[in-house]
Every structure is written in C-alpha cells, then in structure tokens.
Structure 1
C-alpha cells in the first residue's frame, strides 16, 4: 500500500514495452487487436507491435494546414465504417483517414474556443471532442470550455447541456454506452454525465477529485473499464491512478523512469485487461520532444478489463 496522496491504493507492477522513438505519445487506443497512438509532435498516428515496434499508419506532416497552423495530431477514434478520425489540435479541425487519403472531416473553428484535444466515438459514429479552453503554449490563463459533438452526418455543435469544464482532456464512454466520462485537467477531477435518448447531457456529477501532484494540474488521458472505473495519467508526475465508479482510489502505478511524465492510458490486449500507459519527457518544447524522441509505452496487468467501454 502507498502513503501520501495515494494512501491506501495497491501498487501494481509495470513493464516497459517501447523504450523510446516517440515524441509525445498521446491518445492510446486498442483497435482491431492492436495498440495505436498519436505521436503528437511528429504529426503521425502509429501502431505498436507486441515487440514494441513502431509502424507509421498515418503521416499527416505533408498536408497544408489551414491558415498555416502548426500541425499537432492528438485525439483519435474510429467510425463504424472503419475510417479513422484524427484531431488536428491547432487547426481546430478533425481529419479523416480512409486508408488512402487524409481529408477534413469536420471544421470546428466556429464552435471551438481553443485548441481541440481528445476524442471518443460512440457506437453510432457520434464523436465527442474535448478542448483545452485556452492556449497553454501561448501562456494564456486557464479558462473553462464545453465539449463539442460531431454528429454522424459531420455537423458539429457545442454540447451545451453538459456545461463547461476545467480543461476537459481524456474522454471515454462506459460499457453500456450511457455515460460519458472526462478528466478535467485544470479542474483536477474526474467528471461524468449521462446521455438521454436525444443525446443530451443529464445528471452531471463528480466521480472523484484527483491528487494534485503539481498545483492546479490534474488528470490527462483516461481509460474506462467495464465496471465504470477510470484509469488516468497524472501529467505532473510518473503516476497512473485508478478510481472505482464510486470514486474510491484503489490502484496506482508508478513508472520507474526518471523525469518521466505519465500521459495517457488504454485498456487492450486479448481480454482488454492490459493497461497500456504512454509517457513522455518534454511537452512544452516541440523541437526538443521530436529531436530526442524519448516517449515510451508501458504495460500493466489489471483486475478489470474494458469490456465494451470506449475508446
């Protein structure tokens, strides 16, 4: 058992999978039997082999961005027809890859107040997009912002019924498809809301506050399990934490990596009981992150699998 901010949580052992070669690895996803993630500053989506090999699936660096915005690929998700969606953070657009071409799927510039962030796609092809609320890299102060919804027909709207969030970051959907869970990075908590039959948010609630390892910095990428529990990375530290659906912190993972920052996680593997954790060294300096390419991936065996939870 641990002490301090993780007092009472059981520590689970972690093993390395990828020892380097990634810039800032974000939005890990288990899809069709493989682990995918966004190599954020390298502008690509990659597939990670069982042996830790890195295969580029989509290289977006050759596209001409809107208004010359800096290309940063981040949240991803698959549509029911198999096409891959990719958030282009600074452009505020969602790209779509059909296996041959990379095009704009949805332009969010009129509805997004800030750089867009993570994504989850439901069984109907509806995409939920988080945004930071402000430009961290420009030195702006945190500002609350809403979640954006892209309907299956490609139209985008603000999910006003859910309210605003303190830097909504990682986002997932429970196994029954009825509840959206998000990590409020600057709100320093895990929040959930239910979806009614019209797709509107109801019953917004707090699942759990997050340990504030660094002042004002809370959870990042998340993975929802089939019992409604949530794994989340703590970017101010090397820790990944699990809370139950009732908000009880019961497990913690600590990466044995000096100066490493736990970024995000995903449940995958044959029974979706392998927790994949992405970690990086440098998020504020893009050039350094790309040049040194010290991003890593780790694995942990966990008691409860993802089941049908998304992503």
Structure 2
C-alpha cells in the first residue's frame, strides 16, 4: 500500500482525523496550534477555525456543528459558529487529548498532563446533557479509543504502556470491564497513538516515533504495516467513498529537522473498509 498527500500542512501536532459522512468531509485538529481543520476531498475545499485553547479532538454532532475536547473541558460549536461550553473541568498543567464517539452517541474524551506524568490523565464519558463519568482515572497519555463492529468491545491506548488494551463494553449502560492487553508494540517500533476499527474488526494503530500505521487482526495478531516517511504518526481514520480510504495525521513538534510532509494529512486509497462513525448526541 502506498500513501498520497491529502492535505499538505505544517501542523505542530496534527491529530484526530474523523470522517463526517453527512458532510462528506474530513475533520482533524492541530492540538498545539489550537486549530480545527476540515477538508473536502471532492472539491478540495479546506476550512480552518482557531480555538481559544489547545484542542484535543473535534467530532460531528447529530444536530450539526462540532463537539470539541478542549484544555479546560468540552464545548459545543453550533452550525452558525456559536460556541457554548458543555463540561468545564480545568486542571492546572493538564490538557485535552484524543476523543471518540461511542455507538450510543456519548463522547469518550481523554486528557493528559503537559509533562506526560503517569496517572495525570483520565478517560471520561460525556453524555449530551453534559453528565461526565470517569472511565479511567490513572492514565498518562490517553489516546486512541474505538469500538468493535458489534459494540461489545472497546479499545483504548495509554501510549507510554505500549499496549492497546481491550475491554468488554456494555452498549446499554456504557460501562466497561475486563481490561486486558489486545496487542503490545515492541521496543524500537514507536508508541501506539490513535486508532480506528474497520468493518472486519481489525484495529489500525498509528505509531508515534514509528513511521507507520499497523493493522491488528481481531485476535490481536499483526497482519499489516504501512510504512510512512514521517516519524510522528498520530492517528488514522477511514473516509471517502465507501469508507475505503485511510486518512492519517502526522506531527512535527520537537523535530529538529522535520520531513517536508511532517504535519500533513496523508491518505492510503483503498486501504480497507471502515465503519461509519456515530455523531455526538448533544
């Protein structure tokens, strides 16, 4: 599989690609640049909105607009551009990171300390009325989160552990249990960062410092590696016609001599078949 350049950019910390199926566009963020980007591959149209805080993720809402995982909490961006806070929880030295929308429409939002201290981050579940429930309270760098096609399994990455963990997920209550390792990224191959799950239950994982995206089969065995020219590969998501194209975000922060494509969005056409992602019900 070979990559193409979808969006040439110099994002400090490109993250969180999400396909907005209703709008036919890709949404992604530059966390440290405090920017939310959109890209329409059909027309080539791009938009950029600057946020007042570092933004860890932006996801579509069921009624239009976006939900934003921000440094001091979660906010709603209405279709007309109006911003409204939904959940306010500022903690000095902590910021938002990756997030995902569960099959029931709740937002599972991750946090981390700027210094990446162990135990300084969380993963919490937020419903449309702003009710927050802590799912994990002892995380260093909360990253990729996703669900199996039937919604019975939830995957989560705490990057410094090098593990992709899997939980049993109760779709009715939103509760998780039975945490166990699904796969482990070996020393020297980078750290697992963002993830997405395909229609066959395969788990695709971006490797920070590993210059690659990996696909793990539903049983956790490694069955595919896509090599990339940039070291800091942050996250991936399926989009485009038939959800067949794999979009990949990258970063350039901290690199003394970044590759010309570092911070760009790459795409691997026809990489597989993704799952339609639910919108936030709020």
Alignment TM-score > 0.5, same fold: yes
Which one of the candidate residues 161, 177, 182 is aligned to 1:207? 182
Deviation of 1:31 (Å): 0.4
SS of the aligned residue for 2:242 comes to coil
Does residue 1:49 correspond to 2:43, yes or no?
Answer: no
Report what 1:96 is aligned to.
76
Give the distance between the partners of 1:310 and 1:203, measured in 2 at CA: 24
Give the direction of change, closer, same or farther, for the CA distance of 1:212–1:190 in structure 2 (3 Å limit).
same
Does residue 1:248 correspond to 2:221, yes or no?
Answer: yes
Higher helix share: 1
Report what 1:37 is aligned to.
28
Give the direction of change, closer, same or farther, for the CA distance of 1:284–1:86 in structure 2 (3 Å limit).
farther
Deviation of 1:38 (Å): 0.7
Report what 1:299 is aligned to.
267
Deviation of 1:225 (Å): 0.8
Does residue 1:85 correspond to 2:67, yes or no?
Answer: yes
SS of the aligned residue for 1:213 comes to coil
Higher strand share: 2
TM-score (norm 2): 0.85
Unmatched tracts of structure 2, length 5 or more = none
Whether contact under 8 Å (1:189, 1:206) holds in the other structure is: yes
Report what 1:28 is aligned to.
17
SS of the aligned residue for 1:186 comes to helix
Unmatched tracts of structure 1, length 5 or more = 1-11, 62-70
Which one of the candidate residues 199, 210, 222 is aligned to 2:195? 222
Report what 1:142 is aligned to.
118
Whether contact under 8 Å (2:41, 2:240) holds in the other structure is: no
SS of the aligned residue for 2:26 comes to strand
Whether contact under 8 Å (1:224, 1:309) holds in the other structure is: no
Deviation of 1:165 (Å): 4.2
Whether contact under 8 Å (1:194, 1:201) holds in the other structure is: yes
TM-score (norm 1): 0.78
Whether contact under 8 Å (1:40, 1:73) holds in the other structure is: yes
Whether contact under 8 Å (1:174, 1:180) holds in the other structure is: yes
Q: What does 1:92-241 correspond to in 2, within 5 Å?
A: 93-99=73-79, 100-109=81-90, 114-132=94-112, 134-136=113-115, 141-143=117-119, 145-159=121-135, 164-196=138-170, 197-213=172-188, 218-241=191-214
Deviation of 1:44 (Å): 1.8
